[in-house]
Amino acid sequence: MKRLRIVADAHIHAVREAFSHIPDHQIELRVLEHQDITRQALRHADVLITRSSTQVNARLLDDTPVRFVATATIGDDHFDKSYLQRRGIHHANAAGSSTGSVVEYMLTVLLELHMRGVLHLPAATIGIIGAGRIGGALARVCRRLGLQVLLNDPPRARREGASGFETLSELLARADLLSLHTPLTHHGLDATHHLLGEAQLATFKGDIIINAARGACIDNQALLGWLNADRRHFAVLDCWEHEPAPNPRLVQHPQMLLATPHIAGHSLDGKAANTWYAYCALCRWLGVSPSWNMATSLPEPPAPATIARSGDPWHAVHQAAVALYPIQRDHDRMQTIARLPESERGQAFTRYRRHYPVRRAWHRQGVRFLEPDARTVQLATMLGMRVIEETP
């Protein structure tokens, strides 16, 4: 059997179960805290399995035998890809693994904004910036719900043709709310760093900005100014500049309707899928078939959420969404973090993400409506909920 030496981040879901046994290989697995993943720790490693907290670059990998790197996250902007390519180090991410979790986060946000009266569903126009796996999936659900959807994705528009896509200027002029779902890139034609800055925000005719992509896709200082400029401007952020210690004035702004600590994709099922994608990428590189069963790492889902009778279908599905995912809990924790002394905020932000309360995918837990009407069941199904009907 071939020996394979793996170093992996300790906070990857089921990391020991997944990476301790790979067909046809004798595995030597070291599981480390991210701050302990150093060049010295990789002196005798063939494979690195990491998360976004580890910068994978020359400083980390020079003079190491590492030949394969995977991140158990959907984004890989912490990889210096040019360096990895020059070194011939194969790299992979978990793109697509937590799409469902992020979409459920977004739908919970939209329903919450609707119930607060700052957004009217389905009579709203949403501008989605970045129509990849997550943005595309969100667009499909929003269209099913009856929203008008505007898509901005210049790389896709060039590949597929302009039909069906809008320029950023058109989104700024026509959308009621903007939702970002792009990677963070600093260079090139489609750089997304500060994609929404002071100039773009000044021309936005809508009132709501949501970011569940990467923090620096929005100039957070400019966003603070935009909120201050008009009491009818609102924001929802899951991703922040300067994580893990974002600007507390932005976090605590009264028009920051929901502030969460980069956990949109953190359902337990999403975390398991992150590990599965990274594990499968390693198996493909090795030319072996996966042997780990992801399902064994997941507990039985909780009992279905029971939702009281409501005369308003939108109210009913909102109650279902916040029962399945109590987003206010994450907002309240973020506010608590922002009130801590500056020296403690970063650690508290990171600690909450690493020890995030269990949240299950909507299709795993399910909902039961008491005396539901047909429209409520229809909306819940369109949202992706598993509706459990009452037995006679």
Domain ranges of the chain: 2-93+268-297, 99-259, 305-383
All residues at 6 or more sequence positions from 160 whose CB lies less than 8 Å from its CB, including other chains: none
How confident is the model at residue 391, as a pLDDT?
58
Give the mean pLDDT of 172-187. Answer: 96
Encode pLDDT of 240-263 as tens digits: 999 999 999 999 999 999 999 999
3-state SS of 182-204 is: CCCCCCCCCCCCCCECHHHHHHC
Beta strands 305-307 and 367-369 are parallel
All residues at 6 or more sequence positions from 85 whose CB lies less than 8 Å from its CB, including other chains: none
Residue 18 has pLDDT above 70, yes or no: yes
How confident is the model at residue 52, as a pLDDT?
86
Residue 188 has pLDDT above 80, yes or no: yes
Give the mean pLDDT of 219-248. Answer: 98
Residue 392 has pLDDT above 60, yes or no: no
Give the mean pLDDT of 270-299. Answer: 95
Q: Helix (H) and strand (E) counts for the chain? A: 16, 13
CA distance 101 to 105: 6
Tokens 């905020």 -> residue = 345
Residue type, 166: E
Residue 102 has pLDDT above 60, yes or no: yes
How confident is the model at residue 1, as a pLDDT?
82
pTM of this prediction?
A: 0.92
98: confidence class by pLDDT, cuts 50, 70, 90: confident
Encode pLDDT of 57-70 as tens digits: 999 999 999 999 99
Does this chain's domain 2-93+268-297 share its CATH topology with 99-259? Answer: yes
97: confidence class by pLDDT, cuts 50, 70, 90: confident
Residue 17 has pLDDT above 80, yes or no: yes
CA distance 165 to 28: 48
> 293 vs 75, which has greater pLDDT?
293
Average pLDDT, the chain: 96
Catalytic residues: 214, 243, 262
Q: Which two tokens mark 281? A: 């990428």
> How far is residue 377 CA from its own chain's centroid?
27
3-class SS shares of the chain: helix, strand, coil, % to 5: 40, 15, 40
Residue 215 has pLDDT above 80, yes or no: yes
* Length of the chain as a residue count: 392
How confident is the model at residue 151, as a pLDDT?
99
How confident is the model at residue 231, as a pLDDT?
98
356-361 long-range contacts, Cβ below 8 Å, gap at least 24? Answer: 356/263, 356/266, 357/329, 358/268, 359/101, 359/266, 359/267, 359/268, 359/324, 359/325, 360/267, 360/268, 360/269, 360/301, 360/302, 360/324, 361/100, 361/101, 361/104, 361/267, 361/268, 361/269, 361/270
CATH code reported for the domain at 99-259: 3.40.50.720
How confident is the model at residue 205, as a pLDDT?
98
Class of the CATH domain delimited by 2-93+268-297: alpha beta
How confident is the model at residue 389, as a pLDDT?
84
299: confidence class by pLDDT, cuts 50, 70, 90: very high
CA distance between the termini of the chain:
58
Name the region of 366 (left: φ>0; alpha: ψ -120 to 50; beta: rest): left
Class of the CATH domain delimited by 305-383: alpha beta
Closest-CA residue to 370 (of 310, 304, 302, 301): 310
202: confidence class by pLDDT, cuts 50, 70, 90: very high
How confident is the model at residue 256, as a pLDDT?
99
How confident is the model at residue 307, as a pLDDT?
96
